[in-house]
Amino acid sequence: MPVVADALRSLERARLRALVERDIDFAAAVHAADFQLVTPVGMVLSKPQYLGAVQAGHLVYASWIPHDMDVRVHGPAAALRYRSTMEVAFGTHRVPRAEYWHTDLYEKRGDAWQVVWSQATGIQGMAP
């Protein structure tokens, strides 16, 4: 499964680039119709809500840099987990560059892998 894992890493990096660049056509193709995002503040967004906010400029990723990705493939499903450095704005609220954990569930639907669930968790600084 290393070939599938590498392909999923590439697809996830392409998905992130599409979101930063607001390439909604590519993003729409890689997000499943029943996609859901759980944001770091616990909001659940559907595919139309999420991509609609990106397209309208209500959600703007200034940067999204993924680090090493762990991938577990189980038949037609796969989980990806990785840290990232991200800078984002929600409307007029700008969130400074910070570190996040991401967990994404992909499913192979037909001939293509699509992301079905995505969850992001902010990494808080730990006191010594």
Per-residue confidence of the chain (128 residues) as pLDDT tens digits? 689 999 999 999 999 999 999 999 999 999 999 999 999 889 999 999 999 999 999 999 999 999 999 999 999 999 999 999 999 998 899 988 999 999 999 999 999 999 999 999 999 874 44
Say if CB 80 and CB 66 are below 8 A apart.
no
Tell me the per-residue pLDDT of 102-124, one tens digit each, with 9 for 90 and over. Answer: 999 999 999 999 999 999 999 98
User: Does any domain span residue 127?
Assistant: no
- 68: closest CA among 85, 53, 48? 85
CATH number, domain with residue 117: 3.10.450.50
- Nearest Cα neighbor of 105 from 83, 73, 59, 67 is 73
What's the structural domain count of the chain? 1
pTM over 0.75: yes
Instruction: Tell me the pairing of strands 112-122 and 93-109.
Output: antiparallel
Q: Who contacts 13 (Cβ-Cβ below 8 Å, separation ≥6)?
A: 66
Residue 43 resides in a domain: yes
pLDDT of 1 reads: 64
Tell me what pLDDT residue 128 has: 47
Question: Is there a domain that residue 114 lies in?
Answer: yes
Domain hosting 27: range is 2-122
Task: Please indicate, yes or no, if residue 92 is contained in any of the structural domains.
Answer: yes
